[in-house]
A = this chain, B = another copy of it.
Amino acid sequence: MKAAEQHDSQHQSRTKLLDAALYVIRAKGYSATRVDDICAAAGLTKGSFFHHFKSKEELALAAAEHFSSMADGLFATAPYRSLPNAVDRVLGYVEFRKAILLGDLSQFTCLLGTMVQEAYETYPKIREACDRYISSHAHMLETDIAEAMITRGVHAEWTAESLAFYTQAVLQGSFVLAKAQHSAQIAASCIDHLHRYLELLFAQPQSATPTQPNQESL
């Protein structure tokens, strides 16, 4: 019992620090976040912090992974995942993203997008981690998009990959605007536009090939 408690608390402390990091970094950004801020939010001291993490940067990498795996779990078990039609899963993903715009801004915004804005030039490892996890999330979507394209017989100049990344861009950008306006409402509105775009691209009736854009580069 006591052994189990101790074993748990080992993980608990590390997880507490990661959860605290997740919250504080999303609220204040990476650079402005002090190690002591995270310790205070976790109810621990710096001794514990540096026992679990070699440095502040290593914490950032661990927090990125922590955030990513939490997100993976959330989307893997989301109801829309079990829809049989790939088009419905793609639209379901977007609707789900809209539905989870709840509570504080620092609770639903993306840690990866927040960190990479600050870190892309000065902390290469953080940039790489953010890139990897964002791409991995996009790839999950890409699979459904590719299947949806086949389902609806869409033959377009754009690729499933580029559309998957586009959805991520819309989400990241909607978070930026939400922060500027200090409200989630604008993010919901942006997600509605994204939803409309996807409906237009995967429209069932007439020819599934939409109008052509003038330049394509990815």
Q: What residues of B have a CB within 8 angstroms of the CB of A29 in the complex?
A: 29-31, 117-119
Residue of B nearest to A101 (CB): B217
- Determine if B98 and A215 form an interchain contact, defined as CB atoms under 8 angstroms apart: yes
- Determine if A28 and B186 form an interchain contact, defined as CB atoms under 8 angstroms apart: no
A165-B177, A186-B165 given; A196·B158 CB < 8 A: yes
Residue of B nearest to A132 (CB): B180
Q: What residues of B have a CB within 8 angstroms of the CB of A189 in the complex?
A: 162, 165-166, 216-218
A175-205 interface (Cβ within 8 A of B): 176-177, 179-182, 185-190, 192-193, 195-197, 199-200, 203
Tally of this chain's copies: 2
A122 at the binding interface (Cβ < 8 Å)? yes
Question: Which of A3-11, A13-21, A206-214 binds B?
Answer: A206-214
Q: What residues of B have a CB within 8 angstroms of the CB of A195 in the complex?
A: 213-214
Please report the total number of A residues contacting B with Cβ < 8 Å.
65
- Determine if B176 and A176 form an interchain contact, defined as CB atoms under 8 angstroms apart: yes
- Determine if A215 and B192 form an interchain contact, defined as CB atoms under 8 angstroms apart: yes
Which of B30, B171, B173, B213 makes the CB contact (< 8 A) with A171?
A: B173
Closest CB in chain B relative to A79 CB, distance in Å:
15
Q: What residues of B have a CB within 8 angstroms of the CB of A200 in the complex?
A: 197, 200, 210-211
Q: What residues of B have a CB within 8 angstroms of the CB of A131 in the complex?
A: 180-182
A–B complex contacts, Cβ < 8 Å, 7 sampled: A105-B121, A113-B180, A114-B118, A120-B179, A127-B182, A199-B210, A203-B211
